[in-house]
Structure 1
Amino acid sequence: MKPAFTRGFRLHLPGGAHLDGAEFPSGRVYVLDDPEYGLATAATSMEHLLEGYHSARVEWPGDLLVPLALFQDLAAAAAELAAAAPGQTADRARTVLGRLTEYLGADAMARTPHPTEDRTEKH
């Protein structure tokens, strides 16, 4: 059954980048490769689109943000982090953030404040 309306999706590329896209009721799909310059890719179906984006993963609205296996992996890593000796916590924290970055995209690390950064709002 085809959707009655256009629906958006996110195309996760290997390396952590992601692209926004839309699937139309006809089955055609568009992905914004470079919105700043208006570059996009169009395909007659999602299957055809994915042939050009090897190893990409499609995220639909309502999909789990973090799959269960990744969540369990991160929970185990967080438990190890809590039990780590004080000198090992930074390395373990980087491991957890690395796994999140791998799944959520390269910007996850950039959005995470460094432990020594002042997190208070400056006026």
Structure 2
Amino acid sequence: MRVAAAGPLGSVCPGDAEATAAVLALLEDPEPEVRAGVLGPIGASYVRCPDVDDALFSLTGSEDFTTPLSAVCGLVLRKDTRAAEAVARLGAVPPGHEDDHRLHAIWRREWSRDRP
């Protein structure tokens, strides 16, 4: 049930306190599938919400690779001031993830940021 709820809540808009609280709870869920269910839509969203952005930044230190990858992608797309630090935290890309669309989104944003 939590995984099913995660997707629609992933595009939470600022100002919706209940939806934001639900997203934050899902981002702290102990089950990786639940976190992934909300990180997918949030990581692909340009919607800024300071509490969610803070939660994304905290997830950049997660042990697995996919959680920080989605979190970093979300921060980069939102142009969060901590995006460069989050990208640096991501570290080396493990085998099998080289063609991940989130890495390409991060690379495109970083490349265009460095070019006037």
Q: Larger Cα Rg: Structure 1 or Structure 2?
A: 1
Q: TM-score, normalised by structure 2?
A: 0.27
Of Structure 1 and Structure 2, the greater helix share is in: 2
Q: TM-score, normalised by structure 1?
A: 0.26
Of Structure 1 and Structure 2, the greater strand share is in: 1
